[in-house]
Amino acid sequence: MFKQIFPNVFAFISKDEGSNCFVLKGTKKIALIDSSSFFNKTQLLAGLAKLAISKKDQLLILHTHGHADHIGCDEFFPNAKVAMHKADAQMINEKNEEFACTNFFPGTALPTVSTMLKAGQKINLGGISLEVIQTPGHTQGSVCFLLEKEKALFSGDCIFADGFGRTDLPGGNSKKMVESLKKLQKLPLKALLPGHGPILLGGEQIAEHIKISIELASTNAFL
């Protein structure tokens, strides 16, 4: 189920193989950040119902990247607008299952991405403002979303509370991962809301973890 993290911001922390999913209830638009894998469909839809959100609503689904464990529930929101960086969106729109890693999640229906995200783009949901931070490494089109007021980062598979995203999958690049982590190192973060695992709070903890991850990412494809 969803737990409130900030005002009008809620987190579904996956206990399965699917990604975490975050809900942002703006006054203009309701957004999901990643939709998790279809294995989490029942829990996800039940949790959204408790937030008075229906699968028929005109949601905005913001994707950190195009892997199957993050896009697997898109098919259950037929009226949603799906947004992703163009580098990954091209692969998804071409139904490239190797890129999407559907071998780990067979049966995943790849969505049609209609909105292309750009580095530095501002997304105003009404009372909630996000900035798109381009962070290639895990995939070429990986992005994070900065919740500006709270200095909180939806980090996808770039960095977790206990590691960083692997770079040995299609589109991965270890050098770019290190560069992306160094970019995040410059942000004055107070909360890390990753694509997998627990949320990490506290600026000093986050800064130390990013520092360690940069060192490890320089020599390892994944942690």
Rounded to whole angstroms, how far apart are CA atoms 216 and 178?
Answer: 9
The DSSP line for 155-198 is: EETTEETTEE----STT--HHHHHHHHHHHHTS--SEEEESSS-
CB-facing half-sphere around the CA of 221: CA atoms within 13 A: 8
Closest by CA to 44, choosing from 83, 70, 7, is 70
Rounded to whole angstroms, how far apart are CA atoms 111 and 72?
Answer: 8
- From first to last of its 223 residues, what are the pLDDT tens digits of the chain? 899 999 999 999 998 789 999 999 999 999 999 999 999 999 999 999 999 999 999 999 999 999 999 999 999 999 999 999 999 999 999 999 999 999 999 889 999 999 999 999 999 999 999 999 999 999 999 999 999 999 999 999 999 998 999 999 999 999 999 999 999 999 999 999 999 999 999 999 999 999 999 999 888 755 5
What domains can be seen in the chain, in order of their start residue?
2-217 (3.60.15.10)
Residue 125, classed as helix, strand or coil, is coil
Rounded to whole angstroms, how far apart are CA atoms 13 and 123?
Answer: 23
Looking at 27-85, list the stretches that DSSP marks H as alpha helix, in order from N- to C-terminal side: 41-50, 68-71
Q: Which tokens in the block code for residue 119?
A: 């580095």
Rounded to whole angstroms, how far apart are CA atoms 160 and 202?
Answer: 14
Which residues sit opposite 133 in a β-bridge? Answer: 144
Question: What does the angle CA 79 – CA 83 – CA 85 come to, to the nearest 5 degrees?
Answer: 160
Cα 161 to chain center, whole Å? 14
Residue 124, classed as helix, strand or coil, is strand
Which residues 6+ apart lie within 8 Å of 220 measured at CB?
A: none
Q: Which tokens in the block code for residue 45?
A: 């839809």
Rounded to whole angstroms, how far apart are CA atoms 115 and 90?
Answer: 11
Alpha-carbon dihedral sign for residues 105, 110, 111, 113: positive
pTM value? 0.96
